[in-house]
Amino acid sequence: MEEQYYAMLHELQAVDFVLVELNLYLDTHPWDTMALQQFNEMAQKRQFLAAQFEQCYGPLLNFGHSASPHGWRWAMPPWPWQV
C-alpha cells in the first residue's frame, strides 16, 4: 500500500491513543473542563480523520459503524494483517 495509507492510519492511531488516555483521565476527573474540551476536540478530529481514511480506503469498522460508499469493500483485501 502506498505511503499515505500508513501515514493516515498512524495519525488516526495517535489520536485514538490520546482519546483513550483522556477518557481514562476524565473517568476520575469529570470536573476538569480543560481536559473535557481537549477530549471533544480530539473526538471531532478523530471523526474527520476516520471519514477521510474511509473515503480513500474503505470502511474501518463493520456492522454499520462505518459507511462503505464505494461499493461493499468490507470483505475485500487488504486485511489488517496484510498491510
Partner 1 sequence: MNQFRVYCPFIGPFDPCPPIREKVYSTPPNLFLGFQPPGLPQFNAHEALKLGTLWPALYSPYPGKQT
Residues lying near partner 1 in the complex (CB under 8 A) are found at 10-11, 13-15, 17-18, 21-22, 25, 28-29, 32, 34-35
Q: In terms of CB distance, is 25 or 68 closer to partner 1?
A: 25
Q: In terms of CB distance, is 11 or 60 closer to partner 1?
A: 11
Cβ 69 to partner 1 shortest distance, Å: 27
Cβ 42 to partner 1 shortest distance, Å: 8
User: Distance (Å, rounded) from C-alpha 1 to C-alpha 19?
Assistant: 27
Which of the 8 DSSP states describes residue 67? -
Residue length of the chain: 83
Q: Which residue has the cell 474503505?
A: 58
Q: In terms of CB distance, is 23 or 55 closer to partner 1?
A: 23
Q: In the structure grid, which three cell numbers stand for residue 40, read together?
A: 471533544
Cβ 16 to partner 1 shortest distance, Å: 8
CA 43 to chain centre: 9
